[in-house]
Amino acid sequence: DSSFKVIDGKSVAKQIRDEITAEVSRMRESIGVIPGLAVILVGDRKDSATYVRNKKKACESVGINSLEANLPENSTEEEVLNYIAGYNDDPSVHGILVQLPLPSHMNEQNILNAVRIEKDVDGFHPLNIGRLAMRGREPLFVPCTPKGCIELLHRYNVSIKGKRAVVIGRSNIVGMPAALLLQREDATVSIVHSRTSNPEEIIRQADIIIAAVGQANMVRGSWIKPGAVIIDVGINPVEDPNSPRGYKLVGDVCYEEAIRIASAVTPVPGGVGPMTIAMLLQNTLISAKRVHNFE
Ligand code: NDP
């Protein structure tokens, strides 16, 4: 019906980047500090290299300094830890991001634990996740993708309090923190994962759906409660002979079916993706403001 909305993550992200640009220049002009983000990339995965390049470009576009460490695939864990130690001690670095996945010979836990919690702009440090889960405690940073999902709900005036929310997926980086955030905002939250029996039945009760699975078009129109709001995190390549690349990207929710039933849906691409990077920039700014006591 006519009240249906496409949740335009691209334009919200642009608006947020403009707000960050203004804050970064206000900070530079009043105290002479420029926020800095260091990104560590190990190996030569094409997708990771693209993400890192996009993050770098995004930093430049808002006036944040970006530093980059590109380590070869066969680096040792110790070498990565040395870079982290250097950035931990560097006062011009306010955020440190280790691009995942790391090569399989490295212990991801050891490496993520080494990032100073004050510079953990990805919000993946167990202390930050632990505080996110606790009542009355505040994490220093909230993970970027789930934070972007909630920000979209806020900017589109979707009320969360008292609503039934279903998060599909329980990964450390998206599903689990998304569920914790919704719960902090007083939603009643269910989590659907690969071992859930009758997922449709649970998903159909949701006023708010956050889908973070990685399965193209898994959520069908018939699984959606009329009027539900859908945030689709999934990014899945599917064959498309009409595209010059031979493929296109789709979400975890069948968009064509969802728009007939839901009241609002994020598209893929152009929904959550651009928000993730905007939240990374925002976390870097928050970090620089906090360490310099700048309001
Ligand atoms: P993971 O593979 O780490 O987690 C997937 C989750 O989905 C798991 O919890 C898994 O359950 C669950 N799952 C898998 N199959 C099913 C199923 N058939 N029914 C219900 N649940 C299922 O993925 P991520 O969380 O890292 O990413 C999810 C998606 O989001 C991907 O498409 C990824 O590309 C995208 N993504 C997008 C970002 C953005 O910026 N827009 C950022 C990060 C990710 P179980 O725990 O039981 O294995």
Tell me the pLDDT band of 2, cut-offs 50, 70 and 90.
low
Q: Is the pLDDT of residue 85 over 70?
A: yes
- Per-residue model confidence as pLDDT tens digits over 12-45: 999 999 999 999 999 999 999 999 999 999 999 9
Q: Out of 8, 119, 120, 122, pick the active-site residue.
A: 122
Structure tokens at 21: 């640009």
List, chain by chain if needed, residues with CB within 6 Å of any ligand 1 atom: 145, 168-171, 173-175, 192-196, 199, 212-215, 233-236, 272-273, 276
Q: How do residues 99-145 score in pLDDT, each as one tens digit?
A: 999 999 999 999 999 999 999 999 999 999 999 999 999 999 999 99
Q: What separation in Å is there between the alpha carbon of 111 and the centre of ligand 1?
A: 22
Q: Mean pLDDT in the chain?
A: 97
User: How confident is the model over 176-227, as pLDDT tens digits?
Assistant: 999 999 999 999 999 999 999 999 999 999 999 999 999 999 999 999 999 9
Mean pLDDT of 74-86: 97
pLDDT of 253-264, one tens digit each?
A: 999 999 999 999
Residue 8 CA to residue 293 CA, distance in Å, equals 33
> Would you kindly state where each structural domain of the chain is located, as residue ranges?
32-116, 144-272
CATH code, residues 32-116: 3.40.50.10860
- Token code pair at residue 5: 């909305």
**Residue 3 pLDDT more than 90?**
no
Nearest to 282 by CA among 24, 93, 88, 10: 24
122 as an active site residue: the answer is yes
The answer to whether the 32-116 and 144-272 domains have the same CATH topology is: yes
Tokens 């693209």 -> residue: 50
Closest listed residue to residue 99, CA positions, set 143, 35, 51:
51
CA-to-CA dists, residue 21 to 27, 63, 245, angstroms: 10, 6, 34
Whether residue 170 contacts residue 176, with contact meaning beta carbons closer than 8 Å, is answered with yes
Q: Please pick, among 99, 147, 232, 252, the residue that the annotation labels catalytic.
A: 99
Distance, in Å, from the CA atom of 225 to the CA atom of 262, rounded to the nearest integer, reads 7
Q: Is the ipTM of this complex over 0.95?
A: yes
- Among 18, 23, 15, 61, residue whose Cα is nearest residue 285: 23
pLDDT over 90 for what percent of the chain? Answer: 98
Q: Ligand 1, atom 17: nearest CA belongs to which residue?
A: 194
121, 57, 151, 137: which is closest to 291 by C-alpha? 121
Domain 144-272, CATH among 3.40.190.10, 1.10.10.60, 3.40.50.720, 3.40.30.10 = 3.40.50.720
Is residue 55 annotated as part of the catalytic site, yes or no? yes
Q: How many CB atoms lie within 10 A of CB 83?
A: 20
Which residue owns the Cα nearest ligand 1 atom 8? 169
Per-residue tokens: 50: 């693209």
- 245 C-beta neighbours (distance < 10 Å), count: 8
Q: In angstroms, what CA-CA distances link 151 with 57, 64, 145, 148, 238? A: 22, 21, 10, 5, 28
The yes-or-no answer on residue 14 being catalytic is no
CA angle 235, 242, 244 (to 5 degrees): 80
Ligand 1 probe mutation, 233, 277, 279, 280, most atoms within 8 A of CB: 233
Q: Is the peptide bond before 269 cis (omega within 30 degrees of 0)?
A: yes
Backbone angles phi, psi at 189, to 5 degrees: -110, 130
Q: What is the pTM of this model?
A: 0.96
